């Protein structure tokens, strides 16, 4: 690692943040590209977030990623927010500009779609059929915005809280049809995406019946611990192409890194292996 008194600085703001793989990810790129810079974990309690946010330019940071639970507060605090981040209702990337103002971005939608298409290029053909999205949290908002912008003709949004799902549909707009959890409709779908924490290590399993899902439909779980969730294993066993969640993490990081450090990084198989070893 190259680190001098002129090093460019970035990091990840979250609470907790010790589990984040972003420092390892960005550290890999910094090392491979020979950049004089550092990317550090920044554990910030919710009550301290506003003061830390405002201190970033004074501390010489080029920017930062924002993770749970700060994404919505970052949207409010940023001096300027890109339109996509406004639609999604959350900011996950901050860029400190030369005048000290802070620009808020959301790169999760790009990360989701790029992961899908890079893993299975043929996925593009399934996007002309209905997509089913499980969950209505922050990740679901980014996924659905990406699907709307990709021209998916129908998005079936399935969530236990109909009120939350209906608010998401109203905020994002587009061909979104809200469904109750116990009325999951997979018939004719080209894509199934799990954006909930169900199936993540330490969380309850995602118990849904896949029998009505077409066998050529792509199944994506944004969870990446474990890398192959029970949902993906069951889908794989019945012949569906599957996409794990690690690629979304890697691809969403590309834009922030290039803006902070001035070089365009690559998402490679070696990078995936390196991040998985953390």
Known binding residues for NADP(+) = 135-139, 222, 245
Rounded-to-integer distance, Cα 229 and Cα 163, Å: 28
Buried b (16+ CB within 10 A) or exposed e, 26-36: bbbbbeebebe
Rounded-to-integer distance, Cα 28 and Cα 26, Å: 5
Tokens of 158: 């399935």
- Residues contacting residue 109 through CB under 8 Å, at least 6 positions apart: 84, 88, 142, 143, 145, 146, 149
- Peptide bond preceding 201 in cis form (omega within 30 of 0): no
**Binding annotation:** 20-22, 67, 92, 108, 135-139, 222, 224, 245, 252
Rounded-to-integer distance, Cα 226 and Cα 159, Å: 22
Half-sphere exposure (Cβ direction) of 106: Cα atoms closer than 13 Å = 27
Q: Which residues are catalytic?
A: 71
């Amino acid at each position: 690692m190259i680190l001098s008194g002129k090093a460019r600085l970035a990091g990840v703001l979250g609470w907790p943040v010790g589990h984040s793989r972003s420092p390892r990810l960005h550290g890999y790129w910094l090392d491979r590209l020979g950049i004089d810079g550092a990317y550090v974990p920044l554990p910030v309690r919710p009550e301290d977030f506003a003061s830390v946010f405002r201190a970033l330019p004074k501390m010489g940071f080029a920017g930062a990623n924002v993770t749970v639970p700060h994404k919505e507060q970052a949207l409010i605090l940023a001096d300027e927010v890109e339109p996509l981040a406004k639609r999604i209702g959350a900011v996950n990337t901050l860029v400190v500009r030369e005048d000290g103002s802070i620009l808020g971005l959301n790169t999760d939608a790009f990360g989701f779609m790029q992961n899908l298409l890079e893993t299975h290029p043929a996925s593009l053909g399934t996007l002309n059929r209905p997509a089913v999205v499980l969950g209505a949290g922050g990740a679901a908002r980014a996924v659905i915005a990406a699907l709307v912008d990709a021209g998916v003709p129908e998005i079936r949004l399935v969530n236990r809280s109909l009120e939350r799902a209906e608010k998401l549909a109203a905020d994002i707009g587009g061909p979104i049809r809200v469904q109750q959890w116990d009325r999951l409709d997979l018939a004719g779908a080209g894509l199934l995406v799990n954006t909930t924490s169900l199936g993540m290590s330490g969380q309850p399993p995602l118990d849904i019946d896949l029998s009505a899902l077409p066998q050529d439909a792509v199944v994506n779980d944004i969870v990446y611990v474990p890398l192959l969730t029970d949902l993906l294993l069951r889908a794989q066993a019945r012949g569906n192409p599957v996409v794990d969640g690690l690629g979304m993490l890697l691809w969403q990081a590309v834009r922030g890194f290039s803006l902070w450090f001035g070089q365009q990084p690559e998402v490679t198989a070696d990078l995936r292996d390196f991040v998985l070893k953390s």
